[in-house]
Amino acid sequence: MDELAGNRLARVAPDVSGGRHVTPRNVPLALANARFAVRALGGARREEWSVVSTLADQLCARQFRAGEDLCSPGQWPPGIWIVQDGIAEVAVGANGNRCVVQTLCRGDAFGLAPLMSGRRTPCRVHATTHVSALLWPAHEFLVQLERNPALARMLLHGLANRIVDGRVRLSTVLASSLEVRAARILLLEERDGVVPVSQATLASMIGASRPALNRVLRDFQRDRTIELQYRRIKLLDHDRLDDLAQSTTAPAQHELSRGPRIRQLHTGC
């Protein structure tokens, strides 16, 4: 193992005591979890057996109640978290200065960039609902990163997708029109036709007040573009949202940018 990897291992605490440990009952379940993790981390459906077998041996299943932390600010993550069920929020700041950066739902991962860079995360990751997640402990991950070229290639692909996703999210915040920002964040946070996120969280993610965002969403609902439900939003007209999300001026003009469409860029977290 080279000196850089050794330094990363020395800095990252291997403590994985958070949450309640749930040991997979059998080998088929462990393999199913491993294949699920491979797809979440950017791998193909038929990833090399060395990657799948390693994950099957090292992943830990955890359960979190709403409000519990998966990772605290100013610390290194205990490993790579992969959400299987439920919703977690990644946020910076506290109280009135708190800002939600993104949400994590089924198939989303967190912790890869901090562990690979050796930098402490400024974010708090906490469960907003009951969360079932897989944890790849930091020490085991960093050892395998040095030993397994197939794993390194898979993670590079996943990191590239996350860079693209981060730029799309940045463009969402920088859009001048609240209608455009709202359309973009709805498409980015969609999971199977539904945005399972509260309006307060969405407003935080695009730098808007909740009342202002609510007015825009009610306009969308009157146009039958969305349907507002309790703590979630059902998307009814994806094409209209796509057109609005690509608009670079006032929403009524619907001038499309030359970039790829938002829904095609959504890669998870």
Give the pLDDT score at 134. Answer: 97
Give the pLDDT score at 173. Answer: 67
Which CATH fold would you assign to the domain 3-164?
Jelly Rolls (2.60.120)
Alpha-carbon distance of 183 to 175, in angstroms, equals 11
Nearest alpha-carbon partner for 112 in 142, 132, 89, 87: 142
Encoded tokens for 159 = 């990191």
Q: Which CATH class is domain 175-257?
A: mainly alpha
Give the pLDDT score at 42. Answer: 82
Tell me the pLDDT of the chain (269 aa) as tens digits: 444 444 444 444 444 445 555 544 567 889 999 999 998 888 765 667 888 889 999 999 999 999 999 999 988 889 999 999 999 999 988 776 788 888 899 999 999 888 888 888 888 999 999 999 999 999 999 999 888 888 888 888 878 877 877 777 776 667 668 999 999 899 988 988 999 988 988 998 888 889 999 999 999 999 999 999 988 999 999 999 999 888 764 443 333 333 334 444 443 44
Give the pLDDT score at 45. Answer: 58
Give the pLDDT score at 193. Answer: 92
Cβ burial of 123 (10 Å; 0-12, 13-18, 19+) is buried
Burial 90-106 (b: 16+ CB within 10 A, else e): bbeeeeeeeebbbbbbb
Domain ranges of the chain: 3-164, 175-257
**HSE-CB of 10 using CA atoms within 13 angstroms:** 7
Number of other residues whose CB lies within 10 A of the CB of residue 230:
5
Alpha-carbon distance of 14 to 130, in angstroms, equals 24
